[in-house]
Amino acid sequence: MTMTEPDPITTVLSGPSTEAMVSKDIIRRGLIVAPLLIAVCGFIWGLNGAYSSAYGVAIVLLNFALAAAIVATTARISLGLMMGAVLFGYLVRLGLIFLAVLLVKDAGWISLPALGATIIVTHLGLLVWEMKYVALSLAHPGLKPARP
């Protein structure tokens, strides 16, 4: 290997995508709590609150899936590309959330307090819940292995 050729070991990640594994687990947990969250918002804000909450949950779960897809795809190409994609992907995903809210803010079925509460509570709640299941170990990157 010459000095001009990049070392493939340090510039590309291979192996199973831990991002996708964690993201799938977050989405699974989100689908578990979605009916409860929708019911609570429906109780507080009525039918429009339930519709808004369902829309908010969909936004959050798509956001997590998109984040994992960006990291998993770019990590196989280059670590530099992955770092840039994570930074600018975050900004793009924030813009997409803003756009998703902006598109429905005047719709008759939307309850902005329910939508806002759902987006905030679902993002933070799922991340905190997932912290219990993520292995912070190089031996088991991603989710902790299941106990026998």
Contacts of residue 130, Cβ cutoff 8 Å, sequence gap at least 6: 22, 25, 26, 29
Report helix, strand or coil for 78. Answer: coil
Give backbone dihedrals phi and psi of 90, rounded to 5 degrees, phi first: -60, -45
- Global pTM reads 0.79
37 domain-assigned: yes
Domain extent at residue 109: 17-133
- 121 pLDDT above the threshold of 90: yes
**Residue 27 included in any domain:** yes
Decide if 2 is inside a domain: no
In the structure, what pLDDT confidence band is assigned to residue 25 with cuts at 50, 70 and 90? confident
Sheet strands (E) in the chain: 134-135, 142-143
Is the confidence at residue 69, as pLDDT, over 70? yes
Count of structural domains, the chain: 1
Strand 142-143 versus strand 134-135 pairing type: antiparallel
The predicted structure's pLDDT at residue 56: 96
Alpha-carbon distance of 68 to 8, in angstroms, equals 22
CA distances from 63 to 26, 75, 79, 96 (A): 11, 18, 22, 9
Higher pLDDT, 148 or 92: 92
Tell whether 148 is covered by a domain. no
Examine residue 31 and state whether it is found in any structural domain, yes or no: yes
CB within 8 Å of 5: residues ≥ 6 apart: none
User: Is position 38 within any domain?
Assistant: yes
Within-domain flag for 63:
yes
Whether residue 147 is contained in a domain is answered as no
Chain centre to alpha carbon of residue 100: 15
